Amino acid sequence: MRQQIKIRWQFAGVLLLGLVSGLIAYPESVRFAAPIHEFFSQFKVNQGLDLQGGIHLEYAADVSALPSDKADEALAAAEAVIERRVNAFGVGEPLVQLARSGTEHRIIVELPGIKDIEQAKKMIKETPFLEFREPAGEEVQKEIDTANEAAKGKAAVLLARAKAGEDFATMAKQSSEDPGSKDNGGDLDFVKQGMFVPQFDEVIFKPDFKAGTVYPELVESDFGWHIIKKLEERGEGDNREVRAAHILLLKRSLNDSPLLAYQPTGLSGKHLKDAYVDYQTQGLGSPQIALQFDDEGTKLFAEITKRNIGKPVAIFLDGEIISQPTVQNEIVAGQAVITGNFTLPEANELVRRLNEGALPVPITLVSQQSVDASLGESALRQSLFAGLVGLAAVAIFMVFYYRFLGVIAVLALLLYTAMLLAIFKLSAFTPFSITVTLSGIAGFVLSIGIAVDANVLIFERTREELSYGKGAIKSIKEGFRRAWPSIRDGHVSTLLTTLILIGFGTGFVKGFAVILALGVLLSLFTAVVLVRITTTFFIGEWMEKHPWILVSPKKPLE
């Protein structure tokens, strides 16, 4: 009895897995249930360049001027620069990879969904901007103070208009600088005391501040100047809530933007010869970052450090601070060390980013290709049709030849297909996103045949056991047991082949191998686990009397 309950729970798990996988793979099946359809429709397959169209660019990288031991590092840095540029461009699932053509180093860039090839080329060749900045002087602070005085004056004018009875919501929509409430006419909804900054909170909960009135004074907080109107209140004691609206004029500060807090020095990435982790001086402590400037950079850096002793000098990459080392003394040798509590991975990452200030190797466009999305759609339809024809042919053969076991195999094959599609879609939400290309679809179609191959081995062993006169249940158990070594060896050998293709192949070959490897692993799970659970659930004493229903008979051995 306990064994039967266990089998029922296992089969319920198979049904649940099939239901979830099916909904992810084909959400159109529940279009009648809008919330469910909407939820499962968010999962989509990442399509490669050959399916959705886009741009393929190939660059030759010139490393002839670099020492041989620096070439690989420079190429990796160049790849990182381009990849960062592409990601900033907002391309979905871009591909940037290194390759070789004879003795020439290549950088291949694929941009799915992009149509403007000239814009793409400009984006890739654009040099990231690395610069060194020093703390801003009093002039910048004076400019900020002037801007704040102007904002306060504008707030005072708005307050006077609000007190005079002008429509508060309209004023908020036109003048408020609070993006969270501006479109709602400044409405902040009901809140309990303690939800806002103290200055604001104190005012709106004042007992003498009546609903429907505008507070007669400007309220200053760290955010800026508020014109406040109390709309209504409800509850008493701890349950008291106030609904207010406000118009906010922001207060500027050097802390709002590093670009305001630091001013240019003229020292930029073009003056940096090299950045590297200094292993010689770190001892047993934290790694340090060593910088080496060219002649012009050496002179500029000496002047900067001389006038900023005891102050931070900020290093910016494309407008973002990546480091703020403090100057300890004047540096005249054109060499500097960035100290800090770096871990080794953090230090290596900072070095990589510093060296990304400019492309470390010259690159030349040698090939460009625009792929029409209509070609990809046509190829996808043909590939899917081929897959469906193959799946139907396999299903007909299995049912005709293996009867009831064939039906189970077909159901398992459908479940396998749904699970594989679900994995493709779910991978987009992980660091290991799978991009499906035409070669990947070929691997998928091939994996269908591999998936059914394991069932054929199991069912043939079962037929053989039945030919010895054994019962159906015992024959099935023996079929699984005796087929396992062949299934294991066949799948392992295929996996080894795919691993070799992944390790040494490039481009389409690698995409084919990755999906084939995934299909092999999933087919092993489907055949050995899911088919076994399903078969065990359905096969009962009734099958002992009618074994011909289970599988086509095999001539008894003489």
Q: What's the pTM value of the predicted model, to 2 decimals?
A: 0.51
Res 156: pLDDT: 94
Tell me which H or E stretch contains 27.
none
Closest alpha carbon to 227 in 302, 287, 174: 174
Other C-beta atoms lying within 10 Å of the C-beta of residue 169: 15
Q: Which two tokens stand for residue 340?
A: 């800090």
Mean pLDDT of the 462-469 span:
77
Other C-beta atoms lying within 10 Å of the C-beta of residue 5: 9
Res 162: pLDDT: 93
Mean pLDDT of the 313-326 span:
78
**Ordered DSSP codes for 131-183:** EEEEE--HHHHHHHHHHHHHHHHHHHHHHHHHHTT--HHHHHHHH---TTTGG
Q: What pLDDT digit, counting tens, does each position of 278-287 carry?
A: 765 545 567 8
Mean pLDDT of the 87-92 span:
57
Mean pLDDT of the 301-306 span:
90
Of 28-42, 230-244, 428-442, the range with the lowest mean pLDDT is: 428-442
Q: How far apart are CA 282 and CA 289, in angstroms?
A: 10
> In b/e form, how buried is each residue of 442-481, taking b as 16+ CB within 10 angstroms?
bbbbbbbebbbbbbbbbbbbbbbbbeeebebbebbbbbbe
Res 432: pLDDT: 67
Structural domains for the chain: 2-47+372-550 (1.20.1640.10), 54-127+361-370 (3.30.70.3400), 139-256 (3.10.50.40), 260-339 (3.30.1360.200)
Res 557: pLDDT: 40
Res 154: pLDDT: 95
- Per-residue pLDDT band for 543 (boundaries 50, 70, 90) equals low
The SS3 assignment for 301 reads: helix
Res 265: pLDDT: 85
Percent of the chain with pLDDT over 70: 83
- 392 Ramachandran zone, left/alpha/beta (phi>0; psi -120 to 50): alpha
Write the single-letter amino acid at 510.
Answer: K
3-state secondary structure 349-379: HHHHHHHCCCCCCCEEEEEEEEECHHHHHHH
19-33, 333-347, 499-513 — most confident range: 19-33
The SS3 assignment for 205 reads: coil
| Separation of CA 419 from chain center | 21
Residue 516 has pLDDT above 90, yes or no: no
The SS3 assignment for 397 reads: helix
Q: Which two tokens stand for residue 508?
A: 């389409």
> In b/e form, how buried is each residue of 237-276, taking b as 16+ CB within 10 angstroms?
eeeebbbbbbbbbbbbeeeeeebbbbeebebbbebbeebb
Q: Which two tokens stand for residue 456?
A: 């054929």
User: Which burial class, exposed, middle or buried, applies to 233 when counting CB atoms under 10 A from its CB (0-12, 13-18, 19+)?
Assistant: middle
Percent of the chain with pLDDT over 90: 16
Res 377: pLDDT: 64
Res 93: pLDDT: 60
Q: How far apart are CA 389 and CA 382, in angstroms?
A: 10
Q: Taking the alpha carbons of 327, 331, 336, 337 in that order, is the dihedral positive or negative?
A: negative
- Dihedral angle over CA of 194, 195, 196, 200, nearest 10: -50
- Per-residue pLDDT band for 209 (boundaries 50, 70, 90) equals very high
Task: List all residues 6 or more positions away from 387 whose beta carbon is below 8 Å from its beta carbon.
Answer: 441, 444, 445, 448
- Average per-residue pLDDT for the chain: 80
